[in-house]
Amino acid sequence: MAGSLGFDDLTTSRGRRRDLPGGSALYFALGARHFGPVLAAGAVGDDGEPLLRLLDEAGVDRASVASCPGPSYRWRAQHSPGAEVPASEEQALGVYLSWRPRLSPAAAVSPLLFLGSMPPQRQLEVLEQMSSAPFVAIDTMRDFIAWDRPGLERILPRAQLLFANEAEMLELTPDGSGDASRAGRRACRRWGLLAVVLKRGARGVRLLWDGGESDFEARPGVRVVDPTGAGDALAGALMGQLALGPGPDLDAVARGLPAAIGVAALTISDFGTAGLVGGSVIRRDPQSGAGSPG
């Protein structure tokens, strides 16, 4: 997988925390690691030692993670209670402005690829280094949709799975209806996607495909401390399960979502990555290959 590695400044109703290790690549890796090996691609700056240490402690292969001169990626967000998107957010790309991905030989032949939220040009550079034809899942942010829509639209026809929240979905395929599910099905038709995983916060996840949809409830009774990274951890847990099966298809995505939602619940139970690092391990069902947090 490839994505951002950086530090977060987060404010929620539970308080404020600064300089928390974060980024799409870190949350994805911590969500996926319970299901199998994770190969990460990204970049850290001169201040990136805590990020590298977390990857090492999680057993993540970071041969494709570069250490670059300059500051690491930074993200600041203020979350309002119950809101599905931050009330305010700001990012400083840092080394991602100049970093050029260089995949290790092992990463270049991976059968599955997750392109985490980062500039579309970097996502495309990763995708073009794949020597196989992987199953590709992609995530993005409203900022990147606005900054480089043409770049994103070059990648989407080569992807099978899109992760997006409702605001991102409406930004990506606007039709004036304000219906994110309709926008997701439209995206499937437009770019030939297998499915869209629509992230709906406390309402759970809606799986959309051309011609249908299926809802998956959020875990009840979870105390929300910090929603940051929940979508990336969910993607990690889902892709980790897809890697275990005979082939990623719509049925496999649907089977993997309940356990992935459980991993997202661990994520939001504490600030930053603490819920994933200190939370329950994932128990894998030897018969189905699916997992559940326990």
The fraction of the chain above a pLDDT of 90, given in percent, is 85
* pLDDT at residue 291 greater than cutoff 80: no
Query: From CA 131, how far away is CA 39, in angstroms rounded?
Result: 15
Residue 1 lies in a domain: no
Range of the domain at 247: 6-293
Residue 93 lies in a domain: yes
Specify burial of residue 229 (Cβ count, 10 A radius: 0-12, 13-18, 19+). buried
Domain tally, the chain: 1
Residue 237 lies in a domain: yes
> How are beta strands 15-22 and 6-12 bridged, if at all?
antiparallel
* pLDDT at residue 284 greater than cutoff 70: no
Cβ neighbours of 283 (radius 10 Å): 13
pLDDT for the residue 266: 95
pLDDT for the residue 132: 81
Helices 230-244 and 24-32, packing angle to 10 deg: 40
Residue 265 lies in a domain: yes
Q: What is the CATH number of the domain that holds 94?
A: 3.40.1190.20
Query: From CA 277, how far away is CA 280, in angstroms rounded?
Result: 9
Residue 91 lies in a domain: yes
Residue 250 lies in a domain: yes
What are the C-alpha distances in Å from 173 to residues 148, 161, 190, 269? 14, 15, 9, 32
Residue 38 lies in a domain: yes
Residue 41 lies in a domain: yes
pLDDT, tens digit (0-9, with 9 covering 90-100), for 68-108: 999 999 999 999 887 777 888 899 999 999 999 999 999 99
